[in-house]
Every structure is written in C-alpha cells, then in structure tokens.
Amino acid sequence: KGVGGLVRQRLIVTGAVAAVLALTVPASAADGPSPGAPGAGDSYYPDYGNGGYDVSHYDLRLKYQPKTDELSGTTTVLARAEQDLSRFNLDFALDVKEVHVNGRKAKVSATGSHELEITPAEPLKKGERFSVVVRYSGVPSEVEVGGYTSWQRTPDGGVAANEPESAWWWYPSNDHPSDKATFDISIAVPKGYKSLSNGDLVSEEPAGGGWTRSNWRSGQPQATYLATMAVGKFDVTKSKTESGIPVVNAYSESLGDEDGSARASIERTAEITDWLETVFGKYPFSSVGGYVPATGAGFALETQTRPFYGNARFKKGTDVSVVVHELAHQWYGDSVSVRKWRDIWLNEGFASYASWLWSEKEGEGTAQEIASEVYESYPANDPFWKVSPGDPGAENQFHGAVYDRGAMALQALRNKIGDKDFFKILEGWQTERKGGNARVEDFIEYSEKVSGKSLSSLFDTWLYKTSKPKKPALGGEVN
C-alpha cells in the first residue's frame, strides 16, 4: 500500500502557487528546525528540486521486468543538511513502500504531483550528513504527472530520458541541476535483456533466476536529469578513443531498417570525441558512448557520457550533426551545468555551435556561412526573434531560437574578439567550471575578462533583445 497512489494529483503546480508555498515556509534558524523548501528556487519550475540539503551521492539498486514494465528497488541518497531540518522533500512519482533516514523509519507522504515529504524520526542538524533509503516499485509508463509520463516503453523494454523531467519516474532525487552528485546505478534484468546507464560498467553478475545485474558508476558529478537507464535487447559495441577513453554504444535489436543509419552515425562517437578535445580541451569524463532504444522518439538527449538518441532521428539517413551536438554537451551542459534552467543557452547555444564548427572542419560550410544563412532564413517579423535565448521562459526552453540564435551569438562573439581569444574562452570556461554550475552572466563576465573587451551590448543584442539584430551585428564577412 504505497502512499504515492493515494494523493497523487494530476495537476501542475503553477509558478504563482509554488511561489506562495515557498513564502509560507519558515526559514528562520532561531525558531529551531524547520521544513526544507519544496523547490530549489528556480523561477521557471518553482517546485523542481528542493531546499535545505545538498546531495553528494545516489545509489540506485533496481530490478526491471520488461514484459510488465515493473520497476522496483531501493535508492539510497547521501546528503548534507544545509539548515536544521524538521522535514524535507524529494521529487518522485512512483509508489513508495518505506523510507528510512539514518537507519530509522521516517514518516512519508506524497504531496502534490511529484513530491515526497519526509519527516525523520529526529530532526537533522545543519551540517549533518544523513542517509535516506527509499524502497519503491511501480509501472512508470502508467504514472502520469501533469498528464504525461517521460518514461518510454519500447517493444523490448523501457527508457528514462527527458529534460527537464526524467528522474521522477525511476528514482527519488533533489531534481534540479544545481545539486549535482555522483551515482552508482545497478540494474537487474531477465535473461536475454541488457541494461544501460551512465558512466563505467564496473561489473556484471548473476542475479538469480537467470537474471543479470549490471553495475554502472558515474564518478564525476552528474545532474539528476542527465542520469539515464534503459533496458532492452541491445547489441553493444565497445571500443576506445585515441586518447584511451572507453566507448560503449548500444543499439536495440528492434530498430529494424533504421538500424543502419543509426550505427553509421553513432559509431563516429570516438572520432568526434577526439576532435572535440582538440577544440574544447580534455574530455571531462571517464567513458563515452551513445544508445538507441526503439522508442520512436525524434529527440536526442545528452545523458551523461552516454547520450540517448531517438531512432526517428535516423529515419532519413545518417545524422552525424546530432552526435556532435550531444557529445559537445558533455563539456557544455553536463560537466558545466546550468545553475538555473534560465541558463539553458549555456547548453544549447554551445552544442549547436559545435555542429557548425564540425561542418567548418568537414569543409561543408563555415560557421560564418551557416550563421549567415540561418540569419537570413528568419524574416524580421518571424516570431523566432521574439524569443530571448538568454531568458527564453520555461515554455520556450527548447525553442529553436535558443539553439540557432544562441549559436549566432557565439559567431558574433567570435567575429568581435577573433579566433584566438574565442577558442581560448571556449576551453578556459569549461576547464575553470569543470564539474560545476554557471549562469549566463558568468560567461559574459568571463568573456570580457579574457578578451579585455566590453561585450554587454553584443550579448544584449544576441541573447536578450526581442527583435532581429541588424546584419552587421553578426560581424565577419557578409555573404
């Protein structure tokens, strides 16, 4: 008798409601232990993530039955209290059996659509390290939050990959990119199936009844939405990059005819990673790869070390550009993560620009030529120019403007400061911020520091104005 099913509401907590909620939570330490905030303070998604603690590690020990889509197991969260806590929240949507905090049974109730409210037997002290063990099970494809599930069931299994909402359907977390942590993800699957996740495949072992358990480890900090799991009948290929990074790619056996172009694209992963290292600097993680489950999805996602590729991407043939895009995110988005979702340009603008650089290197059109063509393709009265890549709003977080105009912003910067400083900035930025979080403002400040130029008007033009910039603002040769 899980608590999740009883109280789950099919509603989206609006910004206004959550803001009021946040205001009613007392935060004064003088009053003794108080509840952690039910949100991380993100203006786009006020109830995503939580306040009052910081997670250092997630340990997931799961079991998945593809025939019924049943997921069960235990997640252990290691965290540190940032205030005296009477209770705190985790984000989660499946049914919870029980919760222990520091080994003692805790009170748990499901509040709202994706929140667990956990009251430990004893309050937690500011600075105290604590453990939360959550036992749960569910059928993630049947659990809707706000009318949808991001869990994708496939002919041969299931997949967790979406942005920003993905974790709720498979593990409890402080679901906001500002709280990164290391992960151990262990998944047991029946005979004939394979599981995939992020990072290094540490070991595989028999799990009884013909089942196999695979243990995956992400030893570098990872944002919660960048954790992924997939179960299916996968064909796995293994290799190494020139610099010796292990590559693990996987293709569902149910891909059918599309399988050829998916492979022809994703098997370029090692080569693309080697090339990206020459542009951005050392690859930030200890393994790399990509996987294609038979979801039918048209999007790809930069799940850490092992991007997810929707097989519809390869319906019309190979798409190397998307592989460059998702791998570039490993530096920009995964290693250096957004502080708030508003900072999404730091992910999408840079990954998009990486594909333009790839085209330039391949002799298929320079970044300047592509920027110019994309610029011309949107007339001044096109709604495209109404979206500010530097603050697009939650509803436009993945609008084409964040990607295309976001990449144009980088071309304009390159033209203004020259190649030498531009590439110095690209590499220096991700080196300085490795494993951390950043704001758009931080990047602007960093660019000004390295180039010694005032760049506020350039960034204002390309990231914030809601009108089409004049062509000369792009700089470079006008073609």
Per CB under 6 A, the list member of 302, 319, 343, 421 interacting with ligand ARG is: 302
Tokens representing 201? Answer: 């495949």
Neighbouring CB atoms inside 10 A of 244's CB total: 6
Please state the closest distance from residue 308 (CB atom) to ligand ARG, in A: 9
Q: Does 44 bind ligand ARG (CB under 6 A)?
A: no
> CA-CA distance, 393 to 407, in Å (whole number)?
18
| Residue closer to ligand ARG (CB basis): 89 or 397 | 397
Tokens representing 10? Answer: 């099919």
| Residue closer to ligand ARG (CB basis): 223 or 444 | 223
- Which amino acid, 469? P
Pick one of Zn ion, ligand ARG, none as the site partner of residue 299 (Cβ within 5 to 8 A by kind).
Answer: ligand ARG
Please state the closest distance from residue 195 (CB atom) to ligand ARG, in A: 22
Q: Does 163 bind ligand ARG (CB under 6 A)?
A: yes
DSSP letter for each residue of 81-108:
ESS-BS-EEEE--SEEEEEEETTEE-EE
Q: Does 62 bind ligand ARG (CB under 6 A)?
A: no
Please state the closest distance from residue 387 (CB atom) to ligand ARG, in A: 15
Q: Edge to edge, what strands does the sheet with 70-81 contain?
A: 104-105, 95-101, 129-138, 70-81, 53-65, 181-189, 212-222, 200-206
Please state the closest distance from residue 132 (CB atom) to ligand ARG, in A: 28
The region of 53-61, 236-244, 279-287, 294-302 touching ligand ARG under the rule CB under 6 A is 294-302
Pick one of ligand ARG, Zn ion, none as the site partner of residue 300 (Cβ within 5 to 8 A by kind).
Answer: ligand ARG
Per CB under 5 A, the list member of 77, 85, 245, 351 interacting with Zn ion is: 351
> CA-CA distance, 453 to 255, in Å (whole number)?
51
Per CB under 6 A, the list member of 378, 398, 446, 464 interacting with ligand ARG is: 398
Neighbouring CB atoms inside 10 A of 392's CB total: 24
Q: Does 319 bind ligand ARG (CB under 6 A)?
A: no
CA 2 from chain centre, in angstroms, equals 28
Q: Does 224 bind ligand ARG (CB under 6 A)?
A: no
Please state the closest distance from residue 384 (CB atom) to ligand ARG, in A: 17
Tokens representing 324? Answer: 């460059």
Tokens representing 213? Answer: 């358990």
The region of 297-305, 359-367, 415-423, 453-461 touching ligand ARG under the rule CB under 6 A is 297-305
Please state the closest distance from residue 332 (CB atom) to Zn ion, in A: 9
Residue holding tokens 């300085």? 432
The dihedral region occupied by 370, where left means phi > 0, alpha psi between -120 and 50, and beta the remainder, is alpha
Residues 445, 451, 453, 457: is their CA dihedral positive or negative?
A: negative
> CA-CA distance, 145 to 138, in Å (whole number)?
14
Please state the closest distance from residue 125 (CB atom) to Zn ion, in A: 41
Please state the closest distance from residue 329 (CB atom) to Zn ion, in A: 6
DSSP state, residue 257: G
Q: Does 407 bind Zn ion (CB under 5 A)?
A: no
Per CB under 6 A, the list member of 299, 378, 385, 446 interacting with ligand ARG is: 299
Site for ligand ARG in 347-366 (CB under 6 A): 351
Q: Does 423 bind ligand ARG (CB under 6 A)?
A: no
Q: Edge to edge, what strands does the sheet with 194-197 contain?
A: 151-154, 157-160, 229-232, 194-197
| Residue closer to ligand ARG (CB basis): 400 or 435 | 400
Q: Does 401 bind Zn ion (CB under 5 A)?
A: no
| Residue closer to Zn ion (CB basis): 117 or 334 | 334
**Spatial contact of 187 and 75, defined as CB atoms under 8 Å apart:** no
| Cα dist from 457 to 387, 410, 443, 464, 465, whole Å | 17, 14, 14, 10, 10
Neighbouring CB atoms inside 10 A of 110's CB total: 22
**Spatial contact of 77 and 36, defined as CB atoms under 8 Å apart:** no
Site for Zn ion in 330-349 (CB under 5 A): 348
Neighbouring CB atoms inside 10 A of 68's CB total: 8
Three-class secondary structure of residue 340 per DSSP: coil
Q: Does 248 bind ligand ARG (CB under 6 A)?
A: no
Per CB under 6 A, the list member of 300, 323, 324, 401 interacting with ligand ARG is: 300
Pick one of Zn ion, ligand ARG, none as the site partner of residue 117 (Cβ within 5 to 8 A by kind).
Answer: none
| Residue closer to ligand ARG (CB basis): 351 or 409 | 351
> CA-CA distance, 83 to 31, in Å (whole number)?
12
Pick one of Zn ion, ligand ARG, none as the site partner of residue 398 (Cβ within 5 to 8 A by kind).
Answer: ligand ARG
Tell me the residue nearest to Zn ion as measured from the CB: 351
- Note the residues at the interface with ligand ARG (CB under 6 A): 162-163, 299-302, 325, 351, 398
- Note the residues at the interface with Zn ion (CB under 5 A): 348, 351
